[in-house]
Amino acid sequence: MNPDHRIALCPGSYDPVTNGHLDVISRAAELFDEVVVAVVDLPMRKGSTLFGAEERISFIEEATQHIECVRVIAFATLVVDFAREVGAKVIVKGLRAISDFEYEFEMHQLNRLQAPDIDTLYLMASPQYSFLSSSGIKELATFGGNIEELVPDRVAARLKEELGR
């Protein structure tokens, strides 16, 4: 591999992927030669997922097909171990609010203890996505709210199938 080839890892549960996630992924793609979107197969923090890893991967692949340097892979290991496995030296995370920062700061410190050679880069949410979360989207979908402007079309359709009342 070219030593100048800069790879970033964008980990998350992406259950489901939102336009906010896609904004961070596309902005990371402008900064790095390759962006590996790492879909957590068995998330610890959030429990079970609405969509399986394969479907979450397909949502992201479809939504990022126009970005050549993005690839999407499921993982079920420590994020720093997976970063090393794919050759990433940096983990990219999006931040929306102070509450995100507190959690991500803790994760960064734990990751640095495990892997001092892997760093974390935080991208602030774009203003139009600063309120957007997967859990908020699922709640809106459950109660028939308008989610079409907040997630890719296929995600909106699947959410309505799974959660619509």
Q: What is the predicted pLDDT for the residue at 99?
A: 80
Indicate the SS3 state at residue 24. Answer: helix
Q: Is residue 146 part of a domain?
A: no
Spatial contact of 90 and 120, defined as CB atoms under 8 Å apart:
yes
pLDDT of residue 30: 98
CATH classification at residue 93 = 3.40.50.620
Provide mean pLDDT across the span 119-145: 94
Within a domain: 140: no
Count of Cβ atoms closer than 10 Å to residue 96 Cβ: 16
What distance, in Å, lies between the first and last C-alpha atoms of the chain? 50
Mean pLDDT of the chain: 93
Q: What value does the mean pLDDT take over residues 16-27?
A: 97
Indicate whether 132 belongs to any domain.
no
How confident is residue 97, by pLDDT bands cut at 50, 70 and 90?
Answer: confident
Tell the burial category of 68 from Cβ atoms under 10 Å away from its Cβ (0-12, 13-18, 19+).
exposed
Is residue 55 within 8 Å of 67, Cβ to Cβ? no
Burial 104-124 (b: 16+ CB within 10 A, else e): beebbeebeeebeebebeebe
Q: Is residue 116 part of a domain?
A: yes
Does residue 107 belong to any structural domain of this protein? yes
**In this predicted model, what pLDDT tens digit does every residue of 22-53 receive, in sequence order?**
999 999 999 999 999 999 997 666 678 999 99
- How many domains are contained in the chain? 1
Axis crossing angle, helix 19-31 with helix 53-63, rounded to the nearest 10: 60
Asked, for residue 137, whether it belongs to a domain, the answer is no
User: With a threshold of 0.85, does the pTM exceed it?
Assistant: yes
* 50: in domain: yes
Residues in Cβ contact with 74 at an 8 Å cutoff, skipping those fewer than 6 apart: 38, 39, 40, 41, 53, 54, 57
Provide the residue range defining the domain that includes 99.
7-127
pLDDT for the residue numbered 44:
65
In a domain, 141, yes or no: no
CB 7 within 8 A of CB 88: yes
The pLDDT of residue 3 is 67
